[in-house]
Amino acid sequence: MAAPMRRVARPRPWALRAFATVSSPASDPQVANTLKTENTKTSKSGKNRKQIPNPRTTKMTVGQDWMSVYPSSAPFKPSAVPLPIRMGYPVEKGVPMAKEGNLELLKIPNFLHLTPVAIKNHCAALKDFCTDWPSALDSDEKCEKHFPIEIETANYVSAGPSLYNPKSRVVTLKVKLSKLNLDDHAKKKFIKLVGERYCKNTDLLTITTDRCPLQRQNYDYAMYLLTVLYHESWKTEEWEKKMTEADMEEYIWENSRSEKNVLKTLLQIKASEKTSAVTKEELLGSEEVENYKKSVVALKNAGDTENNLSQYKEAVKKLLNLI
């Protein structure tokens, strides 16, 4: 029951100072005895004795609420931490220094306000502000299918003369070309426009922007680049029709010199053998010519490997009826 000494039942709390009586250990047995009457810690003995209270550690129970002792980040207080910690390099034949007045314990950052219980309580309060990850997007492939673009940004936290880190401007945009709506010519033009930023093995386009002062501006610029590249690659300019064989990145057999040579040779052979006139389409459709075409295309695109060369040899032998 509330102390009977309080005459007024809390009219206005700040006025208590004037009206309420002081509850001292002598008058009210519920108040703890904080003052030490027998002082071992007096600054001076005699008339000028200072009443220093007992350290808080003496009043702590085992099941106390530690969050009220260290609710937030605070320096190490030896009177409030009930652990017998010693820190420091010991003198010869000595032990490390005790916690009272120990500067080493003050210098290092302490995590006394972040005990597991405290962390759990904080997270329980913060959990209301969190949202769940959509359960339909559990694998990488699904993420790519629905969200083909990935944007990478960086943020930096540090103490120093300035809060701003210039590296936080950089924005990297990654997208797979197969997700974009491009036809054959558009894709080739796109790859030519983009140059080194495209990786053939992973089919990944990486655009890194750095030129604007803000991260937001760099992101807008990256999206603008992607849009422009896309639309430009669909356009066919006049001068693109003058593309020569040297410009093409992969070898196409139709209308090439190799095809013309083969046809000329075969026609000459047939003419010299004086068999019935065979048309070009029949020659092109025959199996030997198909094989020859495949081997030549493989050689030109993939390069000179043993496999490719042997295939070419076989194809030529069959074509010219050599053994």
Contact set for another protein, span 147-166 (CB under 8 A): 147-159
Select 145 or 280, whichever has its Cβ closest to another protein: 145
Select 17 or 241, whichever has its Cβ closest to another protein: 17
Select 69 or 263, whichever has its Cβ closest to another protein: 69
Q: Which of 219, 141, 217 is nearest to 173 (CA)?
A: 219
For 48-98, give the DSSP string.
Answer: G---PPPPGGGG--TT--GGGTSSS-----TTT--S----SPPPTT-----
Residues 93-122 that bind another protein (CB under 8 A): 108-109, 111, 113-114, 116, 119-120, 122
Task: Phi first, then psi: give them for residue 124, nearest 5 degrees.
Answer: -65, -35
Residues 182-241 that bind another protein (CB under 8 A): 186, 223, 226-227, 230-231, 234-235
Residues 50-79 that bind another protein (CB under 8 A): 51, 53, 56, 59-61, 64-65, 68-69, 73
Select 176 or 300, whichever has its Cβ closest to another protein: 176
277 binds another protein (CB under 8 A): no
Per-residue mark of binding to another protein, 20-39 (x: CB under 8 A): x-xxx-----xxx-xx----
User: Least separation, in Å, of the C-beta of 195 and another protein?
Assistant: 20
Residues 231-250 that bind another protein (CB under 8 A): 231, 234-235
Whether residue 276 contacts residue 259, with contact meaning beta carbons closer than 8 Å, is answered with no
Chosen residue from 62, 126, 136, 163 binding another protein by CB under 8 A: 126
CA atoms of 158 and 80, how far apart (whole Å): 30
**Strand (E) positions, 224-288?**
none
The site for another protein, by CB under 8 A, has a size of: 75
Q: Which stretch binds another protein (CB under 8 A): 40-48, 96-104, 179-187, 202-210?
A: 179-187
CA atoms of 78 and 84, how far apart (whole Å): 9
Whether residue 46 contacts residue 39, with contact meaning beta carbons closer than 8 Å, is answered with no
User: Least separation, in Å, of the C-beta of 256 and another protein?
Assistant: 30
Q: If 0-12 CB within 10 Å is exposed, 13-18 middle and 19+ buried, where does residue 205 land? A: buried
User: Least separation, in Å, of the C-beta of 30 and another protein?
Assistant: 6
Contacts of 30 (CB under 8 A, 6+ apart): 3, 23
